[in-house]
Amino acid sequence: MNTILWADDEIDLLKPYIIYLSSKGYEIIPAMSGQDAIDICRQRAVDIVFLDEQMPGLSGIETLQALKEAHPELPVVMITKSEEEQIMEQAIGQQIADYLIKPVNPSQILLCLKKHVHSKQIVEEHTNANYRQEFSDITYMINTARTFDEFAAIERTLTQWELKLQDASSSMTELLAMQRKEANAAFAKFIRQNYESWFDKPDNRPMLSPDVFRKTVFPKLNEGKKVFVVVIDNFRYSQWKVIQPLLAEFFTVQDEQLYSAILPTATQYARNAIFAGLMPLQIQQQFPEYWVEEGDEETKNKFEKELIGTMLQRFRRHDTYTYYKINESDFCEKIIKQLKSLNTPLNVAVVNFIDMLSHSRTDSKMMRELAPDEAAYHSLTLSWFKHSPILDFFRQIAHLGYEVILTTDHGTIRVEEPVLIVADKNTNTNLRYKVGKSLSFQSRNIFELTKPDKVGLPSPNLSSTYAFCTGTDFFGYPNNFNYYAQYYRDTFQHGGISMEEMIIPLVHLLPK
């Protein structure tokens, strides 16, 4: 039974409400003054307080302040005869839950109770019911998808429900996770059947990493727009939807696309491809001084600024541009100060926080505790964006009138099942893809590219092949297999084939 504390010096006038609410299963505790209400809340728990604004002794506003100081989570509804704006603002400033003008009717009271006492339960029930109704439609979408755009629509739908069900603390999340696995299995089959043909017939393929500038950035520059390209590393579509409301204060979403990251879905390949406008093999052949091999110790994205310059030159463009790589908050704050005098038409910023978050979650036990599942991982993303200088960075860009192309190089997926692979010591260390000689594996879920040059990938050796994990699998070696399986299970990885890694956001934002 839910308990209502109702504070009003004319308590006798409340008898009809007490009878009505009692019939609905509520317990009503009357209080004749503000001080009585405060004392009752010290002695016992209540679910909501209805508080008269005009009472002898402590006023309604003073009582509200005392209640909120002692019980900040307690919903308090102010009831008053006054419609003065000042009183409303004072009440709102004290974080009042609702504000009712006398005379109130029982329906208003019941609506307040549903909104502030039962809302979580009601939202969960309605969300569960709506998802159950749409479950068969999603299954049909998965079973009939034959194009990239159809899988992109599935990614949008699943992400929408994942975020809704997470907010509702729903019991349906396991069922949705099952649908996500089915969708990823169908997507892996689609990539197996179609990925190589994307390079045989480039006119029929979806937008890929090397196409981003040519198809989205250059047209804006041609229109005389000032453009800021922001690439958030390791940033999947669901994380964009989490932070989107925060950017709504400064930007309007002009367009939201989903495009495909190239394979491997790893920074060295996908991000270099974005900035060069070329596939990795083309970068290696045309600009060997800017290509970093798998086995090299240096940073894989050391030459991003230079690659942007080669792309502009190749397209005979004369746009001046700036490039920023944001790895830490202090440096971001310095960049924000520099932006005030900025007037360059093309600007590029790489933000590495999400990548660092996923890696630290793998390496740090504390971070695993903070982000044990998808919902917590999204919550950490939102908290970072809300409280870091990155939000001020976007605010400053909007103030300067820049249009923003917000995207990423690839997404990430939480891995679950290890699969055995045998490879030589020179094979790369990524858990979702391997490139090397004589790769040996038995899992049928692995996608192997035996002719890397056909899909624009370089070969460290003449006999090198690429192997990609699909779904939530990750590679493990025979030595200490069980130890590493346990260590990496439930960590966020990238490099392989899944909708979360490959189907990624490309958003055009207009400053308000």
> E strands, 365-500, where?
403-407, 413-414, 417-422, 433-436, 440-441, 447-449, 465-468, 473-476, 492-493
Q: What is the C-alpha R_g of the chain?
A: 28
Looking at the chain, how many residues does it have? 512
DSSP states of 232-261 as a string?
A: ETT--HHHHHHHHHHHTTTEEEEEEEEEEP
DSSP states of 242-310 as a string?
A: HHHHHHTTTEEEEEEEEEEPPSS-SHHHHHHHHHHTS-HHHHHHH-GGG---TT--S-TTTTHHHHHHH
Neighbour-count burial for 358-376, b at 16+ CB within 10 Å, e otherwise: bbebbeeeebeebbeebbe
Eight-state DSSP code of residue 1? -
In sequence order, what are the residues at sequence separation of 6 or more whose Cβ sits closer than 8 angstroms to the Cβ of residue 280? 262, 268, 269, 272, 273, 291, 456, 457, 458
C-alpha separations of 64 from 12, 50, 79, 103 in Å: 22, 10, 12, 20
Q: Is the peptide bond prior to 103 cis by the omega test (within 30 degrees of 0)? A: yes
Per-residue pLDDT tens over the stretch 325-357: 988 777 888 899 888 888 899 999 999 876 666
Instruction: Look up residue 260 and give its amino acid.
Output: S
- 51 forms bridges with which residues in the sheet? 7, 78
Q: How far is Cα 292 from Cα 288, in angstroms, rounded to an integer?
A: 8
The answer to whether the Cα torsion of 282, 285, 291, 295 is positive or negative is positive
pTM assigned to the model: 0.84
Residue-level pLDDT, tens digit, the chain, 512 residues = 899 999 998 878 888 888 889 999 999 999 999 999 999 999 999 999 999 988 888 988 889 889 989 999 999 998 887 666 666 666 566 678 888 888 888 888 988 898 888 888 887 888 888 999 999 999 999 999 999 999 999 999 999 999 988 876 667 888 999 999 999 999 999 999 999 999 998 888 999 999 999 999 999 999 999 999 999 999 999 999 999 999 999 999 999 999 999 999 998 999 999 999 999 999 999 999 999 887 665 677 889 999 999 999 999 999 999 999 988 777 888 899 888 888 899 999 999 876 666 655 555 666 666 666 788 888 888 988 998 899 999 999 999 999 999 999 999 999 999 999 999 888 998 999 999 998 999 888 999 999 999 999 999 888 899 999 999 999 999 988 999 899 899 889 999 999 999 999 999 999 99
- 494 forms bridges with which residues in the sheet? none
Identify the structural domains of the chain with CATH numbers, from first to last. Answer: 3-117 (3.40.50.2300), 120-194 (no CATH), 214-413+501-511 (3.40.720.10), 414-491 (no CATH)
Q: How far is Cα 469 from Cα 465, in angstroms, rounded to an integer?
A: 14
Eight-state DSSP code of residue 479? T
